[in-house]
Amino acid sequence: MIVQEISDRFDYALKKSVSGLALDEYNKSLYLTKAQLEFVRNIVKVYEYTDEMRHILAPLVQTTTLNSGNFTQTADYYTTSDVLNNTVLEVVFERLNGSIPLIPLDHNDIHYTINNPFRSPNNKIAYRVTVDDEWRIYTDQTLTAYLYTWVKYPDPIVLEDFTGTDLEISGVVVPTTSELTDDVVIQIISRAVDLSIKDIKNIAAPPAQEQN
């Protein structure tokens, strides 16, 4: 859907809900971008790694394969910073050496998990921990290949050229449409309008009076 149509649909839905209310292109872009990211996060959370998720988020789903040359081995784990952390919104599927599933863990949990005296050695499971911009893979196996499928952050929706101004949306200043399908964009517009109306009502609401 082109940016002009997105803008027009936003205006129509907003005026239909709140007569006489209008937003400029910058604020519409902010709400659309926020609503789009919310939508993507919800789809990932609800559908996880399913055909439905892959269908809805197809333009955002990527698969990367790293080999042993991308990793540095330490005494306890393999580490790599070659994981595109700035663009990875969510890892939805990952395998080590073709068949070993990886379980993501919090940094605070990994040492308890690895050193748990009641944990039997299991060479069929590996663990991934993210520390700053680094991924650490804990495994009893020799790492030969690591595949992960991930959902990237969607490009922001920018309705106007802000070049030469102080305005930007997630670092983007040129008109940018959504990468998702038109039927999804319609849902995003509806949610963006709802978010804008909620904020406007909160701003316009009189302060609550204190009870004596």
Q: What is the tens place of the pLDDT at every residue in 111-146? A: 656 655 445 446 688 999 988 888 999 998 999 999
Q: Quick: pLDDT tens for 84-112.
A: 878 999 999 999 999 999 988 876 666 65
Q: Is residue 31 pLDDT above 80, yes or no?
A: yes
- Burial letters 147-162, b for 16+ CB under 10 A, else e: ebbbbbebbbbbbbeb
109 Cβ neighbours under 8 A, 6+ residues apart = none
pTM of the complete model: 0.85
**What residues form DSSP beta bridges with 145?**
67
Q: What is the mean pLDDT of the chain?
A: 89
When mean pLDDT is compared across 9-13, 15-19, 50-54, 140-144, the lowest value belongs to 15-19
Q: Where are the domains of the chain?
A: 3-54+155-197, 60-152
